[in-house]
């Protein structure tokens, strides 16, 4: 399968490029990163890249006729690039987050008839963590989420923690359970010490630490007991199996799909 990568010089994008070069059945035909345009990919990735040179823009990538494009850039650039891919009828697998509701709507319209997968997290372990959290949600009276990421991450909370909170809330609604117990903190000595609250009274605490990659912990509580569900990504290569799973499935889609949960089978 002929693959193109947008954001090839990024931490996740470079890991994806290395995997494509090493995995049988995939061919890296184009890699785009404006900051690295003109640089030999073999030098950048430390792998034999058959003389491929980093390209400057999505038009150069489209000219190489990839069968699937993987995007790990940033929301503003990604949105415009994805519209061009949809127009060219090229399926896309997207790990970029931060799209607005209107942008998601427009992308859904653009990819009618063409496969596209947008996911906040491609780690299979993280997907299973969210499933476990949703399964546990109806049986506990309180919950808080702690997420930790590297110190270069600009958004908080993480997309994965927000999706986890949404799944927890939805699971309680389906089970006809009331909202979680109200927080009784009345003397907040430091603003923000109790984290941020999202729909369903789920609190999220965001840590930004040098040395961290991606870590999510869901802590449930009820009378005399707590339950902790935790997932840790220690290296960006942990996202690669999920990305390649999405690459294999996206060519069989005819619309935009959010998340890779559906590719792992359902309960």
**Catalytic residue annotation:** 149, 153
| Maximum distance among all Cα pairs of the chain, rounded to whole angstroms | 63
In whole angstroms, give the CA distance from residue 232 to residue 93: 23
197: how many CB neighbours lie within 10 A of its CB? 12
Which segments of 171-255 are extended strands (E)? 196-198, 202-208, 214-222, 225-233
Helix axes 101-110, 75-87, angle to 10 degrees: 20
Q: From 246, 248, 251, 247, select the one nearest 262 (Cα to Cα).
A: 246
DSSP tag of 58: H
């Amino acid at each position: 399968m002929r693959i193109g990568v947008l954001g090839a010089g990024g931490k996740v994008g470079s890991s994806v490029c290395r995997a494509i070069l090493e995995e049988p059945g995939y061919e890296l035909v184009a890699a785009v990163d404006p900051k690295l345009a003109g640089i030999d990919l073999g030098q950048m990735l430390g792998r034999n890249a058959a003389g491929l040179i980093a390209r400057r823009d999505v038009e150069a990538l489209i000219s190489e006729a990839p069968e699937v494009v993987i995007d790990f850039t940033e929301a503003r650039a990604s949105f415009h690039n994805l519209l061009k891919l949809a127009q060219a009828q090229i399926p896309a697998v997207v790990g970029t987050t931060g799209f607005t509701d209107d942008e998601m709507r427009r992308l859904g319209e653009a990819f009618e008839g063409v496969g596209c997968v947008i996911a906040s997290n491609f780690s299979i372990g993280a997907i299973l963590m969210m499933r476990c959290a949703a399964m546990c949600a109806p049986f506990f009276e309180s919950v808080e989420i702690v997420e930790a990421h590297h110190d270069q991450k600009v958004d908080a909370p993480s997309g994965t923690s927000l999706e986890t909170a949404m799944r927890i809330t939805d699971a309680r609604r389906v089970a006809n359970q009331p909202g979680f117990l109200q927080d009784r903190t009345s003397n907040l000595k430091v603003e923000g010490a109790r984290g941020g609250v999202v729909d369903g009274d789920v609190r999220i605490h965001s840590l930004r630490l040098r040395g961290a990659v991606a870590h999510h912990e869901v802590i449930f509580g009820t009378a005399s007991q707590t339950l902790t569900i935790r997932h840790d990504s220690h290296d960006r290569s942990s996202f690669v199996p999920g990305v390649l799973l999405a690459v294999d499935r996206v060519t069989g889609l005819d619309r935009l799909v959010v998340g890779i949960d559906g590719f792992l089978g359902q309960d």
